[in-house]
Amino acid sequence: MAHDEAASGKKFAFVLLAFQVVFIVLFGVFAEYHWDAKPQSHRPADANGLVKGVRQADAAKSDAPYNPDYAMKDFYPMFQDVHVMMFIGFGYLMTFLRKYGYSSLGINFLLAAFVIQWATLMRGFLHMHDGKFMIDLTTLLTADFGAAAILITFGAVLGKLSPLQYLIMALIEVSVLEVNEWVGVKIFKTLDVGGSIFVHVFGAYFGLACSRVLSRWEYSANGFNTLKYTTKTTDLFSMVGTIFLWMFWPSFNSVMAPAELQQRAVINTYFALASCCVATFICSFLFHHGKISMEMVQNATLAGGVAIGSTADMVVNPYGALIIGFGAGVLSCVGIRFINGILESKLKVHDTCGVNNLHGMPGILAALISAVVCATASESVYGSSYYKVFPSLEKTEENENPRTPLLQAAWQLSALGMTLGVALLSGALTGSVLRLKIFDPLPGPAMFDDEAYFAMPEDVPPEQEREIRNRLQSASRSSYELAVPLSGKPIAFTRNNED
Amino acid sequence: MAHDEAASGKKFAFVLLAFQVVFIVLFGVFAEYHWDAKPQSHRPADANGLVKGVRQADAAKSDAPYNPDYAMKDFYPMFQDVHVMMFIGFGYLMTFLRKYGYSSLGINFLLAAFVIQWATLMRGFLHMHDGKFMIDLTTLLTADFGAAAILITFGAVLGKLSPLQYLIMALIEVSVLEVNEWVGVKIFKTLDVGGSIFVHVFGAYFGLACSRVLSRWEYSANGFNTLKYTTKTTDLFSMVGTIFLWMFWPSFNSVMAPAELQQRAVINTYFALASCCVATFICSFLFHHGKISMEMVQNATLAGGVAIGSTADMVVNPYGALIIGFGAGVLSCVGIRFINGILESKLKVHDTCGVNNLHGMPGILAALISAVVCATASESVYGSSYYKVFPSLEKTEENENPRTPLLQAAWQLSALGMTLGVALLSGALTGSVLRLKIFDPLPGPAMFDDEAYFAMPEDVPPEQEREIRNRLQSASRSSYELAVPLSGKPIAFTRNNED
Amino acid sequence: MAHDEAASGKKFAFVLLAFQVVFIVLFGVFAEYHWDAKPQSHRPADANGLVKGVRQADAAKSDAPYNPDYAMKDFYPMFQDVHVMMFIGFGYLMTFLRKYGYSSLGINFLLAAFVIQWATLMRGFLHMHDGKFMIDLTTLLTADFGAAAILITFGAVLGKLSPLQYLIMALIEVSVLEVNEWVGVKIFKTLDVGGSIFVHVFGAYFGLACSRVLSRWEYSANGFNTLKYTTKTTDLFSMVGTIFLWMFWPSFNSVMAPAELQQRAVINTYFALASCCVATFICSFLFHHGKISMEMVQNATLAGGVAIGSTADMVVNPYGALIIGFGAGVLSCVGIRFINGILESKLKVHDTCGVNNLHGMPGILAALISAVVCATASESVYGSSYYKVFPSLEKTEENENPRTPLLQAAWQLSALGMTLGVALLSGALTGSVLRLKIFDPLPGPAMFDDEAYFAMPEDVPPEQEREIRNRLQSASRSSYELAVPLSGKPIAFTRNNED
């Protein structure tokens, strides 16, 4: 009953409060501003060697004293694009559900704001320098990247969990995610500039495993998916998310690339997304009884950004980007039209937003493509940027046994394998934890319904409104003598009755 | 009657026209491009000393000839973020009212476009060089900042004034605002990088005083606030404003900071907003019968950006930012849940959008925090950036008697006091001016209703539409022979009846 | 019948597929990354002379080795602004139609994604270097500019064509557009930094000519325009487009200007748009029975950006920008109120979105203004930037007979004349091609109706939903024993009946 929900709401509030307090304490103990955000005088002598951004490109040729302003110039505009993708992009993308708009936006907002703090901590713990970790603009960026994975997972279980379940899920996922990425980058030396493997594949399959374990008989009850219905209005809101994600994806895929490779990453992503959009409309007409499906337009158009994510800064050439994007669009539409149903009926994996189609399969595709591109990499093509793109192939003190292109390709595939394994396993475990009654599983009838946890707007029927307005009318003469002392003459006022 | 409104609309148009003509004349007489926007050859020899942005950071180390392109690189992306906050952020934030969406967006749009011109002039008059003032990118930025205050005030009186009243209010407010800020910055040497004192506190309390004086019996009439009801759709539109404000607030708080302090301002604001969002959901569950209140999500989540505004570029440390943001979120929710009603019933201050909760109290909090941070400032913490953050503490020719940190703290509080006083007084005076009949006070029944001044869309019932479409149908055969001369074969067409 | 549409949808899909395949092949044969996006080692010795952006400003004073990173800093943030204008701006601007929102957004999305590829190719063919053309960030920018013209044309015929007709129209238009611009820039040496002539005038009159030739008796059928009705919700969506276009227009008008002229272009556009917005509200009150017309607010407020487009980077002075913007706003409102009807009834030109008012006439105004500004240009005003603004006036090896200001003015007018002629002619020809039955002209009753080509959301009446939820309820006890094995105790749950 409503009271139950209220109680669970209050419980959620206290859990959330507890975590926020812990976060504040941990930040107090371990976090400090990065040198970039500190006065020059507080920087160690060797700081210049460590600073970010333009310097990577300039370090070689300039001995100018470090200018902290650079980091802002390098990252800030793209950081804001990524920020928009997280909060507007994912938030509105999920508002398509007729009765779950408040939750999609609100919970997306809360989870993201919660996760960027936790991701900052987790990541910081993995990059400690003498008992402290440092925060600069790239920290905020990577925190947003972490949030992306959680929001993808959120899409898989959207509408089927209680706020507390969402929160615990996010908490566990971020912890595993950051470790998995750390291993993938530090040990596997995986190349994944757009996070297709460590963000999209991880987020999607963590969510699917989670959803599988949380599977309940209701999911297959007659008419369950009817509760996912949309309206023209909610579809238009959802498109706000789609289009902002689509437009800013080049920022997502290039912001982490070395300065001089960013432009190539932008170009590749731009064209991959263009042909992916075209592919989506083609498939929609062919797979959907000759009509355009808004579900495909809202989701499949974005698959190109995922599929090019691991190779965005490599030389795939513009036509290659078009092919990759086109393939991703087709793959995503095939997923929506044919695979989704099988997952649901055969494997009992209920995927509310179809994250397998938008993030899962295209992410796997991205990893496979990256293996091929690495395997075929040659110095003749990359010239002076060869080792900038493929650092693991260069012989240096830290890297005594440089890899061959083929070996790097193998490592790319291993990273995919590891990520799939870790995501599925940890997702399943998380799901079984979330089954605990203590996390207030959502009663069946409350699924896909804002009402369970949101205060709904009161309904004011026209006659009630008219009655109120008339009340203001009736006395408005005197009101005017009160309200406008400098003039005795009242204002006559009659409403048009076509109100 | 409708005619009355039409007449008042026309009157408004002529007043608006008069102001626009005056603006054009004043711009013609007094405004010129800043050197940044002028050819190098037209710059005085000492111009380099005066140019903005990167140069502040580079001036020390570079003697390169001035590059006007810098100003764009320094400010443009953040300027656009701020621009979005004004027109999309504030505009959509106020569309929550079921029947006042056109007005919220439209009047917001008009007032902002009007005010950025007037603010440019007012500010220019306060910064004249031999009979002229100069316009560059930072001029546009500060004009947008001025607009912010007016849009905050707009939120306090939203739905209760006529367009003419809104306009006169904005006109007066900008004049006072710019003078108050000029005094605060030049004489008080107040530190307020994010404008929490000079924009948020001023705008909020000017609006509340205005609303108090304009108070009418209707405000307390039975059911008056029922007219403020929202719908799911208007709440989703309102969230567009909320989220864009939330995302771009780091730009608002850092754009005016010296280049090398910007990154710190971004980091502090980012984390303040994150914990503020979490705090809002906690309070919402606890204060609102265990449910999430969209009103709180739409407003209180932003309070953290206001509360950190005066100290964003100072060393409050990440955990400090989290605490400030959390406190602001709680304060704002307390305001919405408990204080709003008291203001309205006891003090007869009707605050449509609750600007006291989002801008007023958090702004005061920001000023208090700035006093504490100034009082405890020490060179050991700020190192080489000490005098960049606290210029008034440095002994120079212009500043022969440098302040002590404690003295600066006192000045921060004085600036708050002055701003509160000026805002309340000028707001009250403005309110009493707006009571004049000549400004067409809004008839009670027309409050919170677009219909008073906007042309409403015609209602087309389904049967009428079907009838029209059938008319196009009936003759479509012949139409086709006309329309497609190259083919005699007509297209058959029957509509699905589930239209 | 629905089947007809399905068939036409499938046909469209195959045509689209064919084009995408051809695009991929052409990119494979002719496109390569620009040096900016290539490793340094792959750049010809003289590449530095050719690279973009900051270098234009720095080339003189710096011999620093080329930093590819510059191009990103110069163009990326503004590129994203322009990108937002194309996909969110134009897309949402056209969602005002009650029953055509999916199409406005969806087809806008598809056409833009299709056109940016085709525009890249067309433009590339006009700028080949030994059998290849190069792609960098400015290529993406100019591709977006090309898309703008197509989306303007789309507005003129919105709701009246089939997807296949839209596609063919876009395909032809881009080809002509790029050639016209190439001639205008290379031979006429036209100054049109914001594309008012080559984008706005071309797009608008191509569309109007197209619409005229496609004219059908239905257009003048009783109640036809009633099908264009809006709702409060669709108007609010439309404003999303309006405001994003309005805010980011300064980026559109300045991104292509030489680095040191950008700031002036931003200032001029900013003030032109501000006074244009004010002018729109004035005219709306005066022309629209004393009420504000959302149609005017959605469209006329933007005319100032078009009118200042050709002279944005010239010295028109702030007051000049205000006058130009104001004039454009008035002109646009006059168009909406008085000229639109005449075009429709007398000239049989049906202009769905009124592109003549927003893009056509203001674009012509922009060209006329540019002629005046060129004619009156003097070195005393522009100083050292004189030849940067007016390169054709400088005597160089390539330019042995420099033009006089008056001559440049004449060329500006010729460019307008050529563009008008080419647009009208090619638009008319395109229209007559589109009349071919093979392109599946839209049946009259299907106009302004998403249903013709989009799958509509299923309608779920409240009782059906309640019935489904009850089904989930009834068994939820057992469900809980299944779902939460660790606890036998079921959750009681009763829905509030005010669902």
Q: How far apart are CA B173 and CA C474, in angstroms?
A: 61
> B residues 176-205 near A, CB within 8 Å?
none
Residue whose structure tokens are 């000393």: B49
Q: How far apart are CA C448 and CA C163, in angstroms?
A: 13
Percent above pLDDT 90 for chain B:
79
Please check the confidence at residue A61 and state whether its pLDDT lies above 60.
Answer: no
Task: Count Cβ atoms within 10 A of the Cβ of residue A134 and give its class: 0-12 exposed, 13-18 middle, 19 or more buried.
Answer: buried
> Quick check: B69 and B130 in contact, CB under 8 A?
no
The predicted structure's pLDDT at residue C56: 38
The predicted structure's pLDDT at residue A54: 38
Between the alpha carbon of residue A398 and those of residues A52, A395, A402, B137, C105, the distances in Å are: 20, 8, 10, 47, 52
Neighbours of chain B (3+ CB pairs under 8 A): A, C
3-class SS at C434?
helix
Contact B290 A40 (CB under 8 A): no
Which residues in chain C are closer than 8 Å to A279, comparing Cβ atoms? 20
Contact A27 B301 (CB under 8 A): no
Q: Which helix (H) or strand (E) holds B134?
A: strand B133-135
Chain A's closest residue to B274, CA to CA, is A113
Which residues in chain B are closer than 8 Å to A486, comparing Cβ atoms? 435-437
The predicted structure's pLDDT at residue C58: 41
Write the DSSP symbol of residue A492. Answer: P
Q: How far apart are CA B81 and CA A78, in angstroms?
A: 12
Decide if the complex's ipTM is over 0.85: yes
The predicted structure's pLDDT at residue B39: 66
CA dihedral defined by C383, C387, C389, C390, rounded to 10 degrees? 120
Q: A342 Cβ partners below 8 Å, 6+ apart? A: none
Q: How far apart are CA B360 and CA B363, in angstroms?
A: 5
Fold of A29-52+78-387+403-452: Ammonium transporter fold (1.10.3430)
> Quick check: B225 and A225 in contact, CB under 8 A?
no
Query: Within an 8 Å CB–CB cutoff, is residue A457 touching chain B?
Result: yes
The predicted structure's pLDDT at residue B493: 40
Helix residue ranges per DSSP H, A288-404: 294-299, 303-307, 317-334, 340-345, 355, 361-375, 379-382, 386-389
Q: How far apart are CA A406 and CA A404, in angstroms?
A: 5
C120: its two tokens: 């890249």
Neighbours of chain A (3+ CB pairs under 8 A): B, C
The predicted structure's pLDDT at residue A36: 65
Q: In this complex, which of B77, B88, B109 lies closest to C277 when CB atoms are compared?
A: B109
Low-confidence stretches of chain B (pLDDT < 70) are 1-3, 36-70, 474-499
In the A/B pair of chains, how many CB contacts fall below 8 A? 270
Mean of the per-residue pLDDT values of chain A:
89
> Quick check: A6 and B290 in contact, CB under 8 A?
yes
Between the alpha carbon of residue B15 and those of residues B9, B12, C27, C385, the distances in Å are: 10, 5, 57, 40
CA dihedral defined by B190, B191, B195, B197, rounded to 10 degrees? -50
Chain B's closest residue to A18, CA to CA, is B282
DSSP string, C247-312: HHHHHHHHTTS-GGGHHHHHHHHHHHHHHHHHHHHHHHHHHTTTSB-HHHHHHGGGHHHHHTTTTT
> Quick check: A147 and A116 in contact, CB under 8 A?
yes
Chain A's closest residue to C486, CA to CA, is A436
> Quick check: A1 and A153 in contact, CB under 8 A?
no
B297: its two tokens: 């999500």
pLDDT tens-digit map of C208-223: 999 999 999 999 998 9
Contact A105 B274 (CB under 8 A): no
Contact A240 B240 (CB under 8 A): yes
3-class SS at B32?
strand
Model confidence band, residue C399 (pLDDT cutoffs 50, 70, 90)? confident
Work out whether the CA dihedral A482, A483, A485, A487 comes out positive or negative: negative
C403 vs B46, more confident: C403
3-class SS at C146?
helix
The predicted structure's pLDDT at residue A493: 40
A19 vs A130, more confident: A19
Please check the confidence at residue C135 and state whether its pLDDT lies above 90.
Answer: yes
The predicted structure's pLDDT at residue B265: 96
The predicted structure's pLDDT at residue B241: 98
Q: How far apart are CA B383 and CA B390, in angstroms?
A: 11
Closest Cα to residue B47, out of B67, B61, B32? B67
pLDDT tens-digit map of C39-50: 666 666 555 444
Phi and psi, residue A256, nearest 5°? -90, -5
B434: its two tokens: 């707006």
Which residues in chain A are closer than 8 Å to B291, comparing Cβ atoms? 5-6, 9, 453-455
Chain C's closest residue to A326, CA to CA, is C20
The predicted structure's pLDDT at residue C2: 43
Q: How far apart are CA A428 and CA A206, in angstroms?
A: 7
pLDDT tens-digit map of B360-399: 999 999 999 999 999 999 998 998 889 999 999 999 988 8
| pTM of the model as a whole | 0.93
Q: In this complex, which of B16, B71, B88 lies closest to C278 when CB atoms are compared?
A: B16
Q: How many CA atoms lie within 13 A of C355 on its CB side?
A: 31
Q: How far apart are CA A165 and CA A207, in angstroms?
A: 13
Q: How far apart are CA B179 and CA B182, in angstroms?
A: 5
> A residues 412-451 near B, CB within 8 Å?
450
Q: How far apart are CA C78 and CA C75, in angstroms?
A: 6
Q: How far apart are CA C150 and CA C168, in angstroms?
A: 11
Q: C259 Cβ partners below 8 Å, 6+ apart? A: B67, B68, B69, B72, C53, C54, C56, C57, C74
Q: A126 Cβ partners below 8 Å, 6+ apart? A: A178, A179, A182
Percent above pLDDT 70 for chain B:
87
Model confidence band, residue C70 (pLDDT cutoffs 50, 70, 90)? low
Q: How far apart are CA A454 and CA A106, in angstroms?
A: 9
The predicted structure's pLDDT at residue C73: 82
Which residues in chain C are closer than 8 Å to B64, comparing Cβ atoms? 61
Model confidence band, residue A105 (pLDDT cutoffs 50, 70, 90)? very high
Residue whose structure tokens are 């994912």: A90
